[in-house]
Amino acid sequence: MNMNKDIILTGDRTTGQLHLGHYVGSLRSRVQLQNEYKTYILLADIQALTTHYDQPELIADSVHQVTLDYLAVGIDPNKATLFIQSMIPEIAELTVIFSMFITVNNLRHNPTIKNEARDRGYTDLYYGFLGYPVSQAADIAFCKATLVPAGEDQIPHIETARKLVRRFNELYAPVLPEPRILTGERLGGLDGIGKMSKSMGNAISLNARPDDVHAKLTKAKTDPARIHRSDPGNPNICPVFAYHQLFRNENAEEIHANCSQGTIGCRDCKQLAGNAINELLAPFRARRQDYEQREDEVKEILIEGTRQARKVARETMLEVREAMGIRYFNL
Ligand code: TRP
């Protein structure tokens, strides 16, 4: 492994299982990147608290479920370091330091924060929720990550992280690299409204059973103007056609043509999309089942990964303190 190359850090909030949107947005590229780059993957349980602080059991259970999702899609614990955010106190420490160089207004104008606050119906913002991009910057900086594979909604957060490390480096010493984002594809929800998201109830989870996948697609919205089977459809606005493009490229052109000419009905089209998704998910289901039977090993993967991340975090924090002139003594 070439150590001068990028260092990858990415992760997910542990508020439930991951779905196909996570897969095309970021998991798929992580599975590739882990072969070439030092890769850290964090289970963001503290960030999960920002919206689910009243459901700690859900968060802890999701740490386990999301770990299984990662292993199921092909994250290899011998290549990638999987770790739990709350077990790295240095991340919290760096969050406090970074919080000195960013204003409340800057965070308020973050478009992802604004959208989430609107979707959740927040009228006033919790300090931790408003500040989670700062904590995310610390997630990235503690291991000196340079590349963050994540969904496009994370762009403003990575911008904040870049700003914070730049400011740190200017003020004290050039210790922290500026990260870049690598965005994947965006997957629309089954309802044709917005992106696929568990909280919107329009998602297919990665461990959905084959008949669940078909049942969900049966209810999915298609081109609303298409009423009769023989009506020509507009696949370009159909959420189900987007799944054909993403999950079964070879047939997509044919389906596009058939839909446009009204020679394939929505029911058949959905059946084919469901088959394609199930083909993708089949090996994930098998790997998940396999790991489900080896709970101790899964726990060991997290312990080992968290230990490694913690070691790196301690080293970085010594440099951070040194740069700031607050490395008073060793305890
Ligand atoms: N905010 C990310 C999400 O909602 C999760 C996350 C937390 C993250 N820390 C991160 C992503 C650091 C990339 C890098 O999915």
How would you write the pLDDT of the chain (331 residues) with one tens digit per residue? Answer: 445 689 999 999 999 999 999 999 899 999 999 999 999 999 999 999 999 999 999 999 999 999 999 999 999 999 999 999 999 999 999 999 999 999 999 999 999 999 999 989 999 999 999 999 999 999 999 999 999 999 889 999 999 999 999 999 999 999 999 999 999 888 889 888 888 888 778 899 999 999 999 999 998 888 888 888 888 889 888 889 988 888 876 788 899 999 999 899 899 999 999 999 999 999 999 999 999 999 999 999 999 999 999 999 999 999 999 999 999 998 8
**pLDDT at residue 1 in the model:** 46
Locate the ligand 1 atom nearest the alpha carbon of residue 44 and give its number: 7
Q: Residues 24, 94: one domain?
A: yes
Residue 214 falls inside a structural domain: yes
**pLDDT at residue 250 in the model:** 74
Q: Residues 30, 129: one domain?
A: yes
Q: How close is the Cα of 11 to the center of ligand 1, in Å? A: 5
Q: Residues 47, 125: one domain?
A: yes
Residue 193 falls inside a structural domain: no
Residue 13 falls inside a structural domain: yes
> How does 11-46 read in b/e, with b if 16+ C-beta sit within 10 Å?
bbbbbbbbbbbbbbbbbbbbbebbeebbbbbbbbbb
CATH of the domain at 216: 1.10.240.10
Q: Residues 181, 36: one domain?
A: yes
Q: Residues 123, 265: one domain?
A: no
Cβ count within 10 A of residue 218: 13
CATH of the domain at 164: 3.40.50.620
Contact 143, 314 (CB under 8 A): no
Q: Residues 15, 121: one domain?
A: yes
**pLDDT at residue 245 in the model:** 86
User: In 3-state terms, what secondary structure has residue 9?
Assistant: strand
- Which amino acids bring their CB within 6 angstroms of ligand 1? 9-13, 42, 44, 47, 136, 139-140, 148, 150, 154
Q: How close is the Cα of 233 to the center of ligand 1, in Å? A: 37
**Residue of 88, 139, 181 with the most ligand 1 atoms within 8 Å of its CB, for mutation:** 139
d(CA 212, CA 205): 9
Q: Residues 169, 70: one domain?
A: yes
Selection from 152, 280, 119 nearest residue 204 by Cα: 280
pTM comes to 0.93
Q: Residues 180, 86: one domain?
A: yes
Residue 202 falls inside a structural domain: no
Q: How close is the Cα of 44 to the center of ligand 1, in Å? A: 7
Q: How close is the Cα of 209 to the center of ligand 1, in Å? A: 27
Residue type, position 79, single letter: K
Q: How close is the Cα of 136 to the center of ligand 1, in Å? A: 6
User: In 3-state terms, what secondary structure has residue 243?
Assistant: helix
Q: Residues 238, 126: one domain?
A: no
Residue nearest to atom 15 of ligand 1 (CA): 12
Q: How far is CA 139 from CA 43, 194, 260, 327, in A?
A: 10, 27, 47, 21
Residue 205 falls inside a structural domain: no
Q: How close is the Cα of 131 to the center of ligand 1, in Å? A: 13
Selection from 3, 8, 1, 43 nearest residue 182 by Cα: 8
Residue 119 falls inside a structural domain: yes
Q: Residues 154, 38: one domain?
A: yes
Q: Hey, which residues does 11 pair with through a beta bridge?
A: 42
d(CA 35, CA 18): 22
Residue 145 falls inside a structural domain: yes
Domain membership of residue 76 as a residue range: 7-188+295-324
Contact 135, 95 (CB under 8 A): yes
Q: Residues 101, 231: one domain?
A: no
Locate the ligand 1 atom nearest the alpha carbon of residue 151 and give its number: 15
Q: Residues 87, 222: one domain?
A: no
Residue 82 falls inside a structural domain: yes
**Number of structural domains in the chain:** 2
Selection from 219, 237, 199, 244 nearest residue 24 by Cα: 244
Contact 172, 319 (CB under 8 A): no
